[in-house]
Each structure stands twice: as structure tokens, then as C-alpha cells.
Copies of this chain bind each other. A is one copy, B any other.
Amino acid sequence: MKIMNMVNAINDALDIKLYDDKNVIVYGEDVGVEGGVFRVTEGLQQKYGVTRVFDSPLAESGIVGTAIGMAVAGLRPVVEMQFCGFIYPAFNQIISHATRMRNRSRGKYETPIVIRMPYGGGINALEHHSESMEAIFGHIPGLKVVVPSTPHDAKGMLISAIESNDTILFMEPKRIYRAIKQEVADGKYTIPLGKANVLSQGSDVTVVAYGAMIREVQRAMVMAKEQGISVELIDLRSIYPIDRETIAKSVKKTGRIITVTEGPRSFGVGSEISQIAIEEAFLSLEAPPSRVSGFDTIVPLPRGEYHYMQDPYKILYEIERIVKY
């Protein structure tokens, strides 16, 4: 057991898998010598050499596209997109190939690729550095999209991701890269992908969140408790596939559900969770499934960002509204 933040935990997972399996290859912009702009890959090039951990040219389509080729040829690439806002040049390779190669070849070629990517706001960054567009990726058939919310989860989920034969978008909530520290088990362990985690049991309302939003919800829960409201908190962990069962069970119990996300509201993750709630628990619902989210706008530059971001107050406001509904 060591006390780790999420950066350490991800680095540890990469280290373990690089050690484990010669087919694991880590690359991306500035991940080698520098160890990544967030230092997530720090020290790995020194340890595993420049053929296994290296800087690529500055080209995201190139990074994901070559990862597909490597994977087809038996490697297990773990690539980094430097920020959420810079994955789009790779969009075609993701939607047209990484997620289709197995299906297209009827299982002959697999694409075990992990695309790691810091995402989300709240760090006073430049334009394009604060986005949360996971909903778009959730809509891509053949892709898995996962988000850890703690160092412990990050390590176990990343190891699972690297060991999976699917293409996985591993979204890292950069706002809490270093903000949360906890004990993380030594050595290898895995956390199954696609399973949500019930963080707190409650009876009045279910709140679904993930990544950096978990902490915001937990803060709101403290205030809600003062009002006598009991919240059940689900850490979704996996945007796709979604753990319908856990959601269904919880909303059947509480009758109320709110999803908290960072991205734009329309066509967001919240709508999908609401849809699941009404499909699974229509007759138990005591209030409309609702969402706390960003606006349908571009994430403002740092001075305006707090208007856009979800904070404990916004969440509390919605909890109270829904509980009183």
C-alpha cells in the first residue's frame, strides 16, 4: 500500500503492464523524455527504453491510426491524447477503424488499444483544454468509454483496459489528478469495466456522476444531509457500456434520479441515464429524471468557467428541486 494521487496510480498501472507484457507500447505527444505534460508517464521511458515509451510526431490521427496497425500486428498500444480537446483529429480513425476492425474482419483482427486522455474543466486552462465530450464517444458502436474517479479505481481500471481486447477510451479527470490521495494497493489488480460503483447508499434520490463530479456531489450531499435528504451516489465509471442494472436497482428504490455531468446538456450522458431510468423504473418514478450539466455552450475561458462548471450548490439546488417535486 502506498499513498498515491491519480497521476501516480496511472503511472503505476502503466509501469506494471509495461513490465508484464512486452507487447505493451506507450506513446503520444511528449510522453517520452518529458513524461507527458501532466507527468503521468514520467520515468517510464528511462525504465523501458525508447522503443516502448516514446514521443510521437504531433498528429493525433497518426497516433491512433498507427496504434490500430500495431494492435492488428499483435502489440497492445496505450496512447495518449494530450488533452480532451485534441482528440478530434483522431475521430475518423476511432469511429471508422479502431472500433470496427474486429467486426469488419469477423473477429480475425482485434484492436486492443487504450486511448488515454485527460478531460474536464476547473483548472484554469486555455481554450480546448477543459472539455468533456464523453457523450459523443458513448454513441460510437464498438468503443468502450470509462472514467475513474479515484486513484484506486484509476489503477485497477487502467490495468483492465490494457488487458482488454477492445478499444477503450480512458478518460482521466485532470481536475483531480493530484487533488485526491488515497492508499493504493501494490502490484496488479483489476477493476472490471462496465460496472458502476455505489459509493453511498441513500433513500431519497439517486445521483449518478463520474470523474471529478463525484467529489462535487459528495460536497453537495453534506449540505443535503443537513436538510435531511438521503442521497444514493452512483459512480458510473463506465459511460459505455452503461451498467443499467445498478441504475435500475437504485432508481427503483429512490424513485428519483439526477445525473451530474460536465459536458453540454443536450444529447449528453444525462439524457441517456434518464432514458434508462424511465425504461427500467417508470412506475417507480416520483419525479422526472433530471440532469445537472454544462450549458449547450462552449466551455468559457477561465474567468467565466465557474458559471459553466457543476459545483455543490448547483447539485444541491437540483437535489432539493427533485426531492420536493
Contact = CB atoms under 8 A, between A and B. Distances in A.
Interface of A: 61, 85, 88-89, 91-92, 95-96, 99-100, 103-104, 127-128, 133, 135-136, 138-142, 240, 242, 263-264, 266-272, 274-275, 278-279, 282, 287-291, 295-298
Given A91-B92, A266-B272, A290 B298 contact: no
A266 B194 CA distance: 14
Contacts of A139: 133, 135-136, 263-264, 266-268
A242 B264 CA distance: 14
Contacts of A138: 266-267
Contact of A271 (B271, B282, B287, B296): B271
Contacts of A242: 266
Nearest to A95: B88
Given A89-B91, A142-B297, A270-B275, 14 more contacts: A88-B92, A88-B96, A95-B133, A133-B139, A135-B139, A141-B297, A240-B296, A242-B266, A267-B267, A271-B271, A274-B275, A275-B275, A275-B291, A278-B278
Contacts of A268: 139
A296 B141 contact: yes
A267 B266 CA distance: 10
Nearest to A93: B88
A100 B298 contact: yes
B278 A272 contact: no
> What is the oligomeric copy number?
2
A114 to B, nearest CB: 21
Contacts of A272: 266-267, 271
15 contacts: A85-B96, A88-B91, A89-B91, A103-B298, A138-B266, A138-B267, A139-B264, A139-B268, A240-B266, A240-B296, A267-B272, A274-B274, A274-B278, A278-B278, A279-B290
A274 B280 CA distance: 14
A266 to B, nearest CB: 6
Nearest to A242: B266
A210 to B, nearest CB: 14
A142 B298 contact: yes
Contacts of A89: 61, 91-92
A253 B95 CA distance: 40
Given A287-B282, A291-B275, A96 B128 contact: yes
Contacts of A264: 139-141
A128 B99 CA distance: 13
A289 B278 CA distance: 7
Most buried by B among A95, A133, A141, A282: A141
Which of A89, A295, A297: most chain B Cβ within 10 A?
A89
Nearest to A127: B104
